């Protein structure tokens, strides 16, 4: 929605103890009308929602850059 354009949003990437063997959980903390901050995280191929597509070579910095480019 338009009311969320240009805003700043906080999120976090939570790595399990088994990282990088297991995918991280990606959460948005700021309410934005699309994601529920109290939910289980975001469903992405680079998150724990899709462990079958996780690649242990991916770094947290690469995930963050990917998320920013996706939202821009």
Distances (CA, A) of 2 to 11, 21, 32, 34, 54: 20, 39, 11, 12, 33
Residue pair 23/51 in contact by the 8 Å Cβ criterion: yes
Phi, psi values for residue 11, rounded to 5°:
-145, 175
Looking at the annotation, which residues are catalytic? Answer: 43
């Amino acid at each position: 929605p338009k009311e969320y354009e240009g805003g700043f949003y906080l999120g976090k990437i939570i790595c399990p103890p088994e990282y990088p063997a297991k995918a991280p959980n990606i959460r948005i903390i700021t309410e934005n009308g699309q994601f529920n901050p109290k939910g289980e995280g975001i469903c992405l191929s680079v998150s724990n929602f899709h462990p079958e597509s996780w690649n242990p070579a991916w770094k947290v910095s690469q995930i963050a850059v990917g998320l920013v480019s996706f939202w821009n």
